[in-house]
Amino acid sequence: MDSILVTGNGPLNGQIDIAGAKNACLTLMPATLLTEEPLTLTNAPRLSDIRTMTTLLQSLGAEVSSLQDGKVIAMSSHDINNHTAEYDIVRKMRASILVLGPMLARDGHAVVSLPGGCAIGARPVDLHLKALESLGAEMELKDGYVHAKAPQGRLQGGVVEFPIVSVGATENVLMAATLAKGTTIIRNAAREPEIVDLADCLRRMGAQISGDGTSVITVEGVDRLNGATHPVVTDRIELGTYMLAPAICGGEVELLGGRIDLIGAFVEKLDQAGISVVETEAGLKVSRRGARVAAVDVVTEPFPGFPTDLQAQMMALLCTADGVSVLEEKIFENRFMHAPELMRMGAQIDVSGGTATVTGVERLKGAPVMATDLRASVSLILAGLAAEGETRVSRVYHLDRGYEHVVRKLSGVGAKIERIREE
């Protein structure tokens, strides 16, 4: 099992190219199931989760090709010959549930295993199922599988009212509604940039969608969708993660392709902590204004609030801040599993329920640590960049699900980091 060895060695300087968004691409790929014509995605990230989604789509009969060193994904679903998403594939990734809406909308039936993914708390699919039921779908849970069908062979427009904001469920029902008969109104919809990106792609395919980016989305169903070519939006979580590298180490790094509108709430917190973020023609340039960052309080919220997927990385920064910071996690339970590992490096963290209190120390110390999930793994790497001595992060297979070429990107700006291959 591979590990990553990080040695703290001072400021970072240079440029980092930000990839296309993992969470956007994993949503855009199932959209191929909505049409018999080709769908091509550009600016795609090269990640293990993308390979898993490729395998899933191919198992359903879709043709999926990786071009231009993986940055272009060419898909065609002209011959969907299987409507069962098997457990052996779906268990690896929760985003697999996103094939349910498109298959149900196009062919009127689908069987999808209940999904897997990072162990960061309950993320039930009931919101997905209830939303699709609002469009006339009939659901049955049997032997760990969702058996879904549209009684008349086609979904019907309806009103979907989410009790809580759900990005995945919004994406699933948004795709399904494009081919439903009549008008669908989605209330309390997620507002994330990935939702807007999906809606943009679906519009390129001929869908009639308005209101994306707000809490109410309206979809006028059409009889068929066509093919399209669509660029995947910049990965705002990778962007935020690498913005924290010069914040925690010092120096100045330009993030190519970065946009403040994707992570406004995060940038506000960086400003409060004493981090300068300047827009450039190519992206965002980040540097630390003082020798030590200031403590700040963070509450994770749905977009446009502070992203839960940047909470672990922000905690790594605040471990060396001047003062006491309080981080409140309101999206997922069990998302402080990185805290004990940071404490092995000398961090002072007290976790109580969904709140973590971090008392900053002047310097962390390198230590052997273990990644517990995707975002936790990269938070430990960031902490290692600012620590005295060597930090060895094990179980980095989590990292491969969401970050491409971490070692190359960080070493390119001066970090002392290497991947240790183990047989």
Contact by Cβ (8 Å): 63, 51: no
What residues of the chain score a pLDDT lower than 50? 117-123
Specify the pLDDT at position 120: 35
Q: How many CA atoms lie within 13 A of 277 on its CB side?
A: 26
Cβ-based neighbours of 305, under 8 Å, separated by 6 or more: 265, 299
pLDDT tens per residue, range 188-214:
999 999 999 999 999 999 999 999 999
Specify the pLDDT at position 398: 84
**Would you list which residues are annotated within the binding site for UDP-N-acetyl-alpha-D-glucosamine?**
94, 123-127, 309, 331
* Residue 400 main-chain phi, psi, to 5 deg: -65, -15
- Helix residue ranges, H only, 230-373: 236-249, 264-273, 311-318, 339-343
pTM confidence score: 0.91
Residue for token digits 């190359």? Answer: 408
Specify the pLDDT at position 423: 63
The strands making up 138-142's β-sheet, listed across from edge to edge, are: 84-85, 109-113, 145-149, 138-142
d(CA 41, CA 66) in angstroms, rounded, equals 10
Specify the pLDDT at position 116: 55
Neighbours of 117 (CB within 10 A): 18
pLDDT tens per residue, range 344-394:
999 999 999 999 999 999 999 999 999 988 888 999 999 999 999 999 999
Contact by Cβ (8 Å): 282, 254: yes
Beta strands in 162-272 (DSSP E): 183-187, 208-210, 216-220, 228-231, 251-256
pLDDT tens per residue, range 265-274:
999 999 999 9
**Would you list which residues are annotated within the binding site for phosphoenolpyruvate?**
22-23
Specify the pLDDT at position 94: 81
Burial (0-12, 13-18, 19+ Cβ within 10 Å), 69: exposed
Specify the pLDDT at position 121: 42
- What domains, with CATH codes, occur in the chain? 3-19+234-420 (3.65.10.10), 22-231 (3.65.10.10)
d(CA 266, CA 152) in angstroms, rounded, equals 46
d(CA 372, CA 357) in angstroms, rounded, equals 20
Contact by Cβ (8 Å): 313, 378: yes
Specify the pLDDT at position 197: 98
Return the closest-CA partner of residue 278 out of 300, 246, 302, 310: 246
Catalytic residues: 118
352: enclosing H helix or E strand = strand 348-352
**Would you list which residues are annotated within the binding site?**
22-23, 94, 123-127, 309, 331
